[in-house]
Amino acid sequence: MQELSIRLPQIPDIAPLEPFDADLLRAMYRQMVLIRQFELKVNELFLQGIMPGTIHLSLGQEASVVGACMALEADDVITLTHRGHGQALAKGLSADSLMAELFGKETGCCRGKGGSLHVGDMSVGALPALAIVGASSPIAAGMAFAFKRQETGQVALNFFGEGTVNKGDWHEALNLASVWKLPVVFLCENNLYGVSTHISEVMAIEYVAERASSYGMPGSTIYGNDPIIVFQTVMAAAQRARSGGGPTLIECLTYRRGGHKRDDPGAYRPREEVEAWFKTDPIPAFRARLLKDERFSPSALDVLEEAVTATIDAAVDFALASDTPALTAALEFVYAD
């Protein structure tokens, strides 16, 4: 493991893209751009006062979520955090149904009953998000338990932030997953802050991945703004999980471009740190890298980006045009039949 600074990014050597399939790389880039544009649009709608609720944007963390989700099979399952739009899109949730959910519309992925904090879609393997820090880790382990018992070969991937690892539920989940060798990947998006609080204030060790040893499981800290590194690391962990090797803890170092949520200017972060990390913005970096590869041209990427813009615009139109739920919907789905 390369030595990384916990405050300032240290970008590892860039792996050559040649060994990777062009479709894969294109899909990666598209997903990252999709998330970026989605979040920027959401921000705009919020500023316009059109969008209800509260919003935690994932701008800047696209490489980690896309790298991770692309390393999974379609029927593998992820759990999402409060910062879940990117995770959901990365796993294949449609922008339409996500956008409609944020507007509380009947056509939303949760029929408008979840909202930003609870987005997800079981049909693409995204368990609707749980917004209580730490709560999803045992549940991810439980889905993995079912996969193991039912011998489906599926894997569960649990997303969480570095602020989460001081929570009891997280600890209990890692222990259980390890003791029962469950096919689960614990993926930490370490963006250095939980709301305004820097990781060094809440942990007396430097890296989250150091905690893996407490559970006898492998752990690694990687540069999270390179989707390829994340992809490879998660792929290996998923393979290990699928073949009965048990869980892995992966820590992706990354950074939020904005504050914790929409109304947070993030002023608690040192300017030097912000500037250094902003330079590592995963999207221009990956674009530049793709363009060094002869299989990609600027115009092709422009077309891709424009197509994404159209998708997002269509999603907004779809959401705005959709009906709000009937009032009787409030009484539905409390219990299953």
Partner 1 sequence: MLTDRTAPAQSSNRELTIVQALREAVREEMRRDEQVFVLGEDIRIGGSFLFTLGLLDEFGPERVLNTPISEAGFVGLAIGAAVQGMRPIIDFQYGDFIFTAFDQIIQQCAKLRYMSGGQVSIPLVFQLPTGASGRGAQHANSVETIFFGIPGLKIVTPATPYDAKGLFKSAVRDNNPVLFCVHKHLYGSKGRQLAKSSISRGHVPETEYLIPLGKGDIKKRGSEITVVANGQMLHRSLNVAEALESEGLSAEVVDPRCLVPFDTELVIDSVVRTSRIVIVEEGNERGGWGAQLAAEIANRAIGYLDAPVLRVASPNVPIPFSPVLESAVIPGESRIRSAILELMDQ
Residues that bind its own copies (CB under 8 A): 166-172, 175-176, 178-179, 201-205, 210-211, 213-217
Of 45-53, 156-164, 203-211, 238-246, the window that binds Mg ion (rule: CB under 5 A) is 156-164
Q: Under a CB-based contact definition with an 8 Å cutoff, are residues 229 and 66 in contact?
A: no
- Site map for partner 1, 141-180, x if CB under 8 A? xxxxxxx-xx-----x------xx-xxxx-xxx-xx--xx
Bridge-based pairing state of the strands 197-198 and 193-194: antiparallel
Q: How far apart are CA 275 and CA 126, in angstroms?
A: 33
Taking the complex as a whole, how short is the minimal distance between the CB of residue 205 and partner 1, in angstroms?
12
Range 210-269, binding partner 1 (CB under 8 A): 261-264, 268
**CB under 5 to 8 A by kind: which of ligand TPP, Mg ion, its own copies, none does 154 bind?**
none
CB of 170 to its own copies, least distance (A): 8
Q: In the range 161-180, which residues lie near Mg ion by CB under 5 A?
A: 161-163
SS3 331: helix
To its own copies, the closest distance from the beta carbon of 84 in angstroms equals 23
Asked whether the beta carbons of 194 and 117 are under 8 A apart, the reply is no
Which partner, partner 1, ligand TPP, its own copies, none, binds residue 146 by CB below 5 to 8 Å per kind?
Answer: partner 1
Q: In the range 24-63, which residues lie near partner 1 by CB under 8 A?
A: 52-54
196 contacts: CB under 8 Å, gap ≥ 6: 260, 264, 266, 268
Q: How far apart are CA 188 and CA 293, in angstroms?
A: 30
Q: Which does 54 bind (CB under 5 to 8 A by kind): partner 1, Mg ion, ligand TPP, none?
A: partner 1
Report the residue number, 9 or 112, with the smaller CB distance to partner 1. 112
Buried/exposed 187-212: b ≥16 CB within 10 Å, e otherwise: bbbbbbbbeeebbeeebeeebbbebb
Residue 89 is encoded by which pair of tokens?
């899109």
Least CB distance to its own copies at residue 199 (A): 11
Exposed, middle or buried by CB within 10 Å (0-12, 13-18, 19+), for 27? middle
Residue 95 DSSP label: H
Q: Of partner 1, its own copies, Mg ion, none, which one does residue 227 interact with (CB within 5 to 8 Å by kind)?
A: none
83 binds, among ligand TPP, partner 1, Mg ion, none (CB under 5 to 8 A by kind): ligand TPP
Among 37, 154, 191, 221, binds Mg ion (CB under 5 A): 191
Q: Which residues are CB-neighbours of 97 under 8 A, at least 6 positions away?
A: 107, 108, 109, 121
| 61: its two tokens | 């963390």
Residue 191 contacts which entry, partner 1, its own copies, Mg ion, none (Cβ below 5-8 A, type-dependent): Mg ion
What is the total residue count of the chain?
337
- Of residues 193 and 255, the one with the C-beta less far from partner 1: 193
Exposed e or buried b for every residue in 94-106, given b needs 16+ CB within 10 A?
Answer: bbbbbbbbbbbbe
Q: Give 143 or 253: the residue with its C-beta nearer to Mg ion.
A: 253
- Contact positions toward Mg ion, by CB under 5 A? 161-163, 191, 194
